Chains A and B, each alone.
Chain A
Amino acid sequence: AQTVTQSQPEMSVQEAETVTLSCTYDTSESNYYLFWYKQPPSRQMILVIRQEAYKQQNATENRFSVNFQKAAKSFSLKISDSQLGDTAMYFCAFISNTGNQFYFGTGTSLTVIP
């Protein structure tokens, strides 16, 4: 069975600073995908970034980047130049290449302080 763990229930960061959200996962699969989703107060789930396990290069989307450590089964999200609009719940998620189910972590609530 796959599990996804987010050990930081809440975090805060000053506007314009950098923050890193942690995620670890457990799987016996070799090919899989990892995701970070953002859920602002509007409740809408928004895909932030996606990483394919067979790609060694870390994914980047504008101010968002990941540090993917396959051997350590770690997938952290770095947000640079934090903005007030980044205030949201962030979920880490996993799906294997052969599976039908997504597995989500319990989320990290991020507050950006002006």
Chain B
Amino acid sequence: NAGVTQTPKFQVLKTGQSMTLQCAQDMNHEYMSWYRQDPGMGLRLIHYSVGAGITDQGEVPNGYNVSRSTTEDFPLRLLSAAPSQTSVYFCASRTGGLAKNIQYFGAGTRLSVL
């Protein structure tokens, strides 16, 4: 009964370092998304995918890359971390069926960029 699994839960980076936030779901959901949460700004969509091999940009895509090679995994890559990317990151997934609008979230990753 894993649902959406995000790793790591916490990460500290130095400016300019790269890293990948991992996201995996075991519900066979077509749709997956990455959000960032900042104080006073709610959740903002970074990138999303409607199926394996298909990704698209959200509201705040700059500085982030994604790929979707399998239905289960949707990693988020920071190529050169900046202090402005300090945030809490959430991965989410949902089905494309009749219940397609019920979104399930991972536990989040708190990222600090120094």
User: Which residues of A does B touch, CB under 8 Å?
Assistant: 4, 6, 9, 33, 35, 42-45, 47, 50, 91, 93, 95, 100-102, 104-107
Contact = CB atoms under 8 A, between A and B. Distances in A.
Contact of A105 (B31, B42, B105): B42
Given A100-B48, A106-B40, A50 B102 contact: yes
A91 B88 CA distance: 15
A100 B88 contact: no
9 contacts: A33-B101, A35-B101, A43-B107, A45-B105, A45-B108, A93-B43, A95-B101, A100-B31, A106-B42
Contacts of A47: 102-103
Interface string B98-111: 00011101011010
Contacts of B44: 104
Given A43-B88, A107-B42, 15 more contacts: A4-B42, A6-B42, A43-B108, A44-B105, A44-B107, A45-B90, A45-B92, A45-B108, A47-B103, A95-B101, A100-B50, A102-B45, A105-B42, A106-B42, A107-B40
Interface string B61-93: 000000000000000000000000000101010
A100 B94 CA distance: 10
A95 B103 CA distance: 11
A93 B90 CA distance: 15
Interface of B: 31, 33, 35, 40-45, 48, 50, 56, 58, 88, 90, 92, 101-103, 105, 107-108, 110
Contacts of A44: 105, 107-108
Contacts of B43: 91, 93, 102, 104
Contact of B40 (A4, A9, A43, A104): A9
A67 B102 CA distance: 20
Contacts of B35: 104
A105 B41 CA distance: 8
Given A43-B88, A47-B102, A107-B42, A102 B33 contact: yes
A101 B58 contact: yes
